[in-house]
């Protein structure tokens, strides 16, 4: 694709694509049409499967601007091709946000495409303007419009394209759009709906049937019908019909579910502001970016993404995040520093109402409506993008599937050899042309098994069912195989490793710049009037829904600890009394100090506090604050709570105790979650209206430090055991949390992620400031008292003896862990890109990580070839859950569609279960693939040998082999459940790997040898002769020797001694390889526990032995078997027994013991001892000469690791400066130099 102009669209985004322009070419179309006729439609199919060929074959290159058809190619590793048709639209302006009052500056030339009725309607609506012709195309439910300025296609997201500031949204966009402007923007943005069209059964059927696999089956069926193999053809047709029907049902069901999921908010009536103060009712489908909608008091399901400009909303966002806790959304700031910044949906999500989320209730003040400006509509919304990712998923990138195609190509190559061999042999024997064509094509259908995809899918389907039984639900079955390869799992902390709720351990107040002793009781009388308790009672986002307090669990715990009561006014009260404070908190009457109770004027008055304004918690700022007024007082107060370090930095220095850092460290080292509180008395001249427009930066400054709240976050009882199990299985574990660094390290130590004898190095990075470059300070934390004796004992006892050496070295190698904060992670990613991969190789704790940083971390780990799992509670882990190879959400909400796996058990015990099932499914896929490949080759060998004497297998012989043996065995051998424990070793990820190829090749050679042996031996028997209907070899004496060559008595020549012999031998070979390949331990339960498989094998063995030793005439006639002497039958039993024994010996001895254990496994680990100790050297050398020789034989000596993280680990072993020494600093200007810097 070097010729022609190429453009890049969506540059830098996930769906970046290259675009080429094409014009239709008449002579190319005529040629293709002739080709289609000549090939009977096959060329058309080929062009359908390969869109790039279809476009290049019928069009000529042109500029993208003048194109009629576009060819698109994704720039990711999949390089997918798409074609798109360019359309022309008439509009009175060139862009959606153009003003209609101005004349258009640029006129587009007349396009070559027709102008339809819709365009005539546009001419009518906007008659006062000269319409522009706008070229556009649609791809994956997104419209791309041609922009003459940038000379490329672009898509319009919504109001964000204008890069408007928060203040200008209030000033320029809060009054609403006129009807004309709304209709104009609708031309570009279309209807506001996430249209999941459920395709008709007919369209789905056509798409399914045009799959290359079904076309191959159709070809096979036509060929078999031409050979009168009607029975087998009928069986395959029946199988295909069942397979297609099942597939159609599943696809249709998924479409209907997705359609139902988005239909809830797709069409509803909304109140829209039409400039000035006009309000009209409109359908939600008519909304465009810039429209102003009114949120009703009783709530609604949002039909679009909109930013709140007036009022407050309580929203349930579980549909998007999986977090069922109601979230408070406040109006966008209209003044101050924050208002000057450009509106960004991610940055201002606390002010944004997302499509599909439910507004539970609104808060408004008398005479004011709760208003929101529409920002995005349709598929541009957050919900729309989520639905798009489900409708148009990226292909699953897994080595197994690539290798499967390579393997099939090898089989096609083998089929090609058989094809040529058959043609040459048939021509030499002067076989009729029709027979030559049929038989040579038949060999292709034998070599490439039509039942392969169905058999491969069976293992995954069974694994999915088993996962469902243990409460793990899967929406992406192909990822189950990926779980078998996981070698690293990231865990969220709160709610995942630890209990969801926090318990209040105590408080430590600060007075006069000093800490008071810790107190466990908050609700005591002496504290009722204190600012500390007032802060706890007011600084939260709690609300009452149907009389129940609802909100963040941490806020709930804090508020309940005070024993105060929260009261919200009803709608009627709000309208009648015009209250300044909509929410009031007050202590229960019995805790009010007696002085207040005796005075009727002040009774309970000074203790009631009204919440005037709320600045919700921001994960970026790590704090929240409120402005309140105590009833009876003229001034207002501000209360703040958040991360201790952040709160302390916003307080007056003299109010923060000098022992602040030491006290905080004491608590965080013990694993407590610490929250700091602060207070500030505001000026009395501040009015309620002025407070509503103040920015939080002006309020959250110059505060008085109040003290610390100490929360206890208990580790779930399953956590330590699961992490120990994963560690023993050679699966690395990381913690990725939004919590404090020292708390995270403490929890990591408590749950065994970091063991007591291991060092923790905190990488503390700071961005460049003034003339100082960015730098990293490496701080070593103090180790608790070491108790490594027990952990090392457990370590060694639980492993096999031969792996102890590896484990001890791994123990030394990994005796240090890095801990990185979100801020440091951002600085290192930007200023130290060369260090980030080294760091994540040994980093175990990532603290204070923002949601997008969790996703970045997963990407970095994947970039060094880790197969990454992510386990979180679905709240702020959505991006990471989606990005990881295997995301496991512990949220039971079905709406959390971001994660491929959802566990109904709210603890991490689901992770080992998923990995075990993944390993079992992966090994099952290998077993089935190997078995199906061997089945093809065994049948290919039988048919090729029979072709040499112008014979073949009979129709019913094919039927018996393919239905009674192959299908039953392939579907039952997949039923082995997963092994009960995770082992140190992982299954191979590739079919093209040494042990697997050796396994397949040794079995092929074995089967070939025994088939050729039987074929030659039968012809050497004394009773052998050309079989005729009159032949009766069972009763012929041994002297009746005949050296006649077999010649056909009918056109097929099915009945003969060679056919009967090969049918018996090959039937036993299928069963032998099935049992040999059906591996159990260490990834699956042994085959004898898979009773359907064992029963099938026993029944087939019994049946075959019975008809071989005691022939039944009816069965012999049905299977077209001829009678052979009893001695030859006994000989055949010996041949098949020896064949089975050899197959077992080769698989177990050569593949399992010699190759896997000594060669491939010995070269697998990174952490190998560089040389044995001198005392043990001779012994070790003697023990290892065998593996060394075999490694040399298989060219694996000194072979470097194939994955990047192993390369990196080997490099770091030789790096004397890694890990950095304590108290050193790395500067961005010279990454290698480290300057000593005592801390």
Does the pLDDT at position 593 exceed 60? no
Catalytic residue among 98, 132, 492, 739: 492
The DSSP secondary structure of 1027-1076, one letter per residue, reads --TT--GGG--TT----PPP--SSSS---SHHHHHHHHHHHHHHHHHHHH
Predicted local distance difference test score (pLDDT) of residue 603: 42
Does the pLDDT at position 372 exceed 80? yes
Q: Give the tens place of pLDDT for each residue, 525-549.
A: 777 878 888 899 999 888 877 777 8
Calculate what percentage of the chain has a pLDDT beyond 90: 15
Q: Is the peptide bond before 1219 cis (omega within 30 degrees of 0)?
A: yes
Q: Which of 555, 710, 708 is nearest to 644 (CA)?
A: 708
Beta strands 886-889 and 868-872: pairing type? parallel
Residues 434-444 as b or e (16 or more Cβ within 10 Å = b)? eebeebbbbbb
Token digits of residue 70? 């576009």
Token digits of residue 900? 């491929």
Residue with tokens 């309140």: 628
- Return d(Cα 689, Cα 678) in angstroms, integer: 24
Q: Give the tens place of pLDDT for each residue, 711-750.
A: 887 788 888 899 999 988 889 999 998 777 877 888 888 8
Q: Give the tens place of pLDDT for each residue, 1148-1157.
A: 877 666 655 5
Counting runs of H as helices and runs of E as strands, what totals does the chain give? Answer: 43, 42
Q: How confident is the model at residue 1 (pLDDT cuts 50, 70, 90)?
A: very low
* Conformation bin of residue 799: beta by default, left when phi > 0, alpha when psi is -120 to 50: beta
Q: With the C-alpha atoms ordered 1164, 1168, 1171, 1175, is the resulting torsion angle positive or negative? A: negative
Q: How far is CA 191 from CA 187, 265, 284, in A?
A: 9, 13, 9
User: 771 burial class (0-12, 13-18, 19+ CB within 10 angstroms)?
Assistant: exposed
Predicted local distance difference test score (pLDDT) of residue 1141: 94
Q: With the C-alpha atoms ordered 283, 285, 291, 296, is the resulting torsion angle positive or negative? A: positive
The DSSP secondary structure of 399-413, one letter per residue, reads HHHHHHHHHHHHHHH
- Return d(Cα 266, Cα 259) in angstroms, integer: 10
> Average per-residue pLDDT in the chain?
79
Q: How far is CA 198 from CA 195, 391, 477, in A?
A: 9, 11, 22
Predicted local distance difference test score (pLDDT) of residue 111: 40
In this predicted structure, which of 500-509, 929-938, 1186-1195, 1199-1208 has the lowest mean pLDDT?
1186-1195
Check if the beta carbon of residue 760 is closer than 8 Å to that of residue 754. yes
Instruction: Compute the radius of gyration of the chain from its Cα atoms.
Output: 37
- Return d(Cα 310, Cα 335) in angstroms, integer: 14
Catalytic (active site) residue 397: no
- Return d(Cα 691, Cα 685) in angstroms, integer: 10
Does the pLDDT at position 1184 exceed 60? no
Residue with tokens 């049902």: 249
Q: With the C-alpha atoms ordered 432, 437, 438, 444, is the resulting torsion angle positive or negative? A: positive
Task: Tell me what the mean pLDDT of segment 861-882 comes to.
Answer: 79
Query: In residues, how long is the chain?
Result: 1239
User: 323 burial class (0-12, 13-18, 19+ CB within 10 angstroms)?
Assistant: buried
Q: How far is CA 324 from CA 327, 702, 894, 1047, in A?
A: 9, 35, 11, 79
Predicted local distance difference test score (pLDDT) of residue 246: 77
Predicted local distance difference test score (pLDDT) of residue 895: 37
Q: Give the tens place of pLDDT for each residue, 61-98.
A: 999 888 999 999 988 777 889 999 999 988 888 888 88
Token digits of residue 375? 């920002």
Q: How confident is the model at residue 193 (pLDDT cuts 50, 70, 90)?
A: confident
Predicted local distance difference test score (pLDDT) of residue 1140: 94
Q: List, in order, residues 6 or more apart from 434 with CB less than 8 Å away.
A: none
- Return d(Cα 939, Cα 953) in angstroms, integer: 9
Q: Give the tens place of pLDDT for each residue, 505-519.
A: 888 888 888 888 888
- Return d(Cα 1233, Cα 1235) in angstroms, integer: 7
Q: Give the tens place of pLDDT for each residue, 933-971.
A: 899 899 989 998 988 888 888 888 888 898 888 888 988
Question: What pTM did the predictor assign?
Answer: 0.73
Regarding predicted confidence, which is higher, 1038 or 692?
Answer: 692
φ/ψ of residue 702, rounded to 5: 55, 45
Strand partners of residue 763: 778, 820
Q: Which of 243, 236, 214 is nearest to 958 (CA)?
A: 236
Greatest mean pLDDT among 423-437, 480-494, 601-615 = 480-494
Q: Which of 835, 864, 863, 732 is nearest to 1217 (CA)?
A: 835
- Return d(Cα 415, Cα 367) in angstroms, integer: 81
How are strands ordered across the β-sheet holding 279-283? 279-283, 269-273, 292-294, 371-376, 305-310, 352-353
Reported in sequence order, the residue ranges of 850-1000 that DSSP labels E, i.e. its strands, are: 868-872, 886-889, 901-903
Greatest mean pLDDT among 184-188, 435-439, 1220-1224 = 184-188
């Amino acid at each position: 694709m070097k010729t022609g102009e190429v453009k890049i669209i969506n540059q830098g985004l996930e769906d970046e694509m290259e675009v080429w322009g094409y014009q239709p070419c008449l002579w190319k179309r005529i040629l293709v049409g002739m080709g289609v006729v000549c090939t009977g439609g096959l060329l058309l199919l080929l062009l359908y499967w390969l869109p790039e060929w279809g476009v290049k074959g019928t069009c000529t290159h042109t500029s993208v601007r003048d194109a009629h058809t576009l060819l698109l190619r994704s720039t990711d590793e999949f390089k997918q091709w798409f074609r798109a048709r360019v359309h022309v639209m008439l509009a009175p302006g060139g862009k959606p946000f153009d003003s209609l009052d101005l004349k258009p500056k640029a006129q587009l030339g007349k396009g070559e495409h027709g102008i339809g009725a819709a365009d005539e309607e546009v001419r009518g609506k906007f008659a006062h303007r000269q319409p522009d012709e706008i070229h556009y195309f649609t791809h994956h439910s997104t419209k791309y419009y041609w922009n003459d300025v940038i000379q490329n296609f672009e898509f319009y997201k919504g109001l964000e394209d204008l890069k408007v500031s928060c203040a200008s949204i209030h000033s320029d966009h809060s009054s609403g759009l006129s009807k004309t402007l709304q209709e104009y923007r609708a031309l570009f943005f279309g209807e506001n709906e996430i249209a999941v069209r459920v395709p008709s059964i007919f369209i789905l059927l056509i798409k399914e049937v045009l799959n290359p696999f079904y076309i191959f089956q159709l070809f096979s069926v036509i060929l078999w019908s031409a050979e009168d193999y009607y029975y087998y053809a009928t069986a395959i047709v029946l199988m295909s019909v069942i397979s297609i029907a099942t597939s159609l049902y599943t696809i249709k069901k998924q479409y209907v579910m997705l359609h139902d999921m988005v239909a809830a908010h797709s069409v509803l009536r909304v109140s829209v502001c039409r400039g000035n103060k006009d309000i009209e009712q409109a359908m939600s489908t008519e909304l465009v970016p810039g429209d102003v909608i009114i949120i009703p008091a009783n709530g609604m399901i949002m039909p679009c993404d909109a930013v709140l400009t007036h009022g407050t909303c309580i929203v349930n966002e579980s549909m998007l995040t999986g977090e069922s806790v109601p979230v408070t959304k406040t109006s966008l700031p209209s003044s101050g520093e924050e208002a000057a910044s450009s509106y960004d949906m991610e940055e201002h999500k606390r002010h944004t109402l997302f499509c599909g989320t439910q507004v539970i209730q609104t808060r408004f003040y008398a005479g004011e409506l709760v208003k929101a400006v529409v920002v995005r509509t349709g598929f541009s919304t957050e919900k729309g993008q989520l639905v798009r990712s489900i409708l148009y998923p990226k292909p699953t990138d897994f080595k197994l599937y690539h290798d499967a195609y390579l393997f099939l190509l090898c089989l096609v190559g083998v089929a090609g050899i058989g094809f040529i061999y058959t043609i040459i042999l048939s021509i030499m024997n002067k076989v009729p042309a029709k027979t030559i064509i049929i038989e040579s094509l038949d060999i292709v259908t034998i070599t490439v098994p039509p039942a392969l995809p169905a058999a491969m899918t069976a293992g995954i389907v069974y694994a999915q069912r088993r996962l469902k039984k243990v409460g793990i639900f899967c929406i992406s079955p192909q990822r189950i195989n990926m779980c078998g390869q996981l070698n690293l799992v990231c865990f969220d902390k709160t709610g995942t490793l630890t209990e969801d709720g926090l318990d209040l351990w105590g408080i430590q107040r600060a007075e006069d710049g000093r800490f008071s002793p810790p107190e466990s009781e908050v609700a005591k009388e002496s504290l009722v009037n204190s600012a500390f308790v007032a802060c706890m009672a007011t600084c939260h986002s709690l609300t009452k829904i149907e009389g129940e307090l609802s909100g963040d669990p941490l806020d709930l715990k804090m508020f309940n600890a005070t024993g105060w009561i929260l009261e919200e006014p009803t709608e009627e009260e709000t309208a009648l009394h015009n209250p300044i404070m909509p929410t009031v908190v007050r202590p229960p009457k019995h805790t009010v100090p007696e002085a207040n109770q005796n005075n009727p004027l002040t009774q309970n008055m000074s203790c009631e506090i009204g919440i005037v304004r709320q600045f919700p918690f921001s994960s970026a700022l790590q704090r929240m604050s409120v402005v309140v007024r105590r009833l009876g007082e003229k001034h207002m107060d501000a209360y703040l709570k958040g991360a201790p370090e952040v709160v302390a930095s916003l307080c007056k220095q003299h109010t923060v105790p000098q022992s602040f850092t030491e006290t905080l460290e004491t608590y965080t080292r013990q694993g407590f979650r610490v929250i700091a509180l602060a207070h500030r008395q505001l000026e009395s001249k501040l009015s309620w209206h002025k407070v509503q427009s103040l920015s939080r930066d002006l309020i959250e400054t110059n505060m008085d430090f109040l003290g610390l709240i100490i929360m206890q976050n208990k580790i779930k009882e399953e956590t330590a055991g699961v992490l120990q199990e994963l560690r023993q299985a050679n699966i690395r574990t990381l913690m990725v949390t939004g919590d404090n660094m020292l708390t995270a390290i403490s929890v990591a130590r408590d749950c065994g992620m970091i063991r007591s004898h291991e060092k923790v190095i905190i990488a503390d990075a700071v961005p460049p400031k003034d003339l100082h470059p960015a730098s990293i300070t490496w701080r070593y934390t103090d180790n608790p008292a070491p108790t490594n004796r027990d952990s090392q004992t457990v370590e060694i006892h639980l492993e096999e003896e031969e792996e102890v050496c590896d484990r001890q070295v791994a123990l030394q190698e990994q005796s240090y862990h890095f801990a990185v904060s979100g801020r440091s992670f951002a600085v290192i990613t930007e200023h130290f890109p060369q260090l980030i991969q080294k760091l994540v190789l040994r980093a175990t704790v990532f603290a204070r990580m923002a949601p997008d940083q969790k996703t970045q971390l997963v990407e970095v780990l994947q970039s060094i070839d880790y197969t990454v799992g992510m386990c979180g509670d679905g709240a702020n882990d959505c991006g990471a859950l989606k990005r990881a190879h295997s995301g496991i959400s512990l949220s039971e909400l079905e709406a959390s569609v971001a994660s491929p796996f959802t566990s109904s058990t709210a603890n991490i015990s689901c992770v080992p279960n998923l990995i075990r099932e993944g390993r079992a499914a992966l090994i099952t896929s290998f077993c089935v693939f190997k078995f199906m490949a061997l089945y093809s080759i065994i049948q290919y060998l039988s048919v090729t040998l029979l072709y040499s004497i112008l014979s073949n297998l009979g129709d019913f012989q094919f039927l018996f082999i393919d239905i009674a043996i192959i299908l039953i065995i392939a579907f039952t051998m997949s039923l082995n459940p997963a092994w009960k424990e995770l082992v140190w070793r992982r299954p191979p990820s590739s079919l093209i790997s040494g042990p697997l190829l050796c396994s397949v090749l040794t079995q092929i050679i074995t089967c070939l040898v025994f088939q050729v042996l039987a074929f030659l031996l039968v012809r050497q028997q004394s009773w052998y002769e050309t079989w005729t209907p009159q032949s009766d070899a069972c009763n012929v004496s041994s002297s009746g020797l005949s050296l006649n060559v077999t010649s056909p008595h009918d056109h097929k020549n099915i009945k003969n001694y060679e056919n009967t012999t090969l049918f018996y031998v090959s039937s036993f070979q299928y069963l032998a390889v099935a049992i040999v390949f059906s591996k159990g331990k260490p990834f699956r339960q042994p085959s004898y526990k898979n009773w359907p498989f064992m029963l099938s094998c026993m029944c087939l063995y019994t049946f075959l032995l019975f008809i071989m030793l005691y022939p039944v005439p009816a069965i012999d006639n049905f299977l077209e078997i001829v009678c052979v002497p009893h001695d030859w039958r006994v000989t055949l039993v010996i041949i098949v027994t020896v064949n089975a024994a050899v197959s077992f010996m080769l698989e177990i001895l050569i593949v399992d013991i010699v190759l896997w254990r000594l060669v491939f496994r010995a070269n697998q680990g990174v952490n190998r001892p560089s040389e044995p100790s001198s005392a043990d050297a001779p012994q070790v050398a003697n023990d290892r000469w065998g593996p060394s020789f075999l490694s040399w034989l298989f060219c694996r000596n000194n072979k470097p690791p194939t994955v990047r993280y192993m390369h990196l680990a080997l490099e770091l072993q030789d790096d004397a400066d890694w890990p950095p020494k304590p108290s050193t600093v790395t500067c961005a200007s010279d990454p290698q130099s480290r300057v000593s810097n005592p801390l």
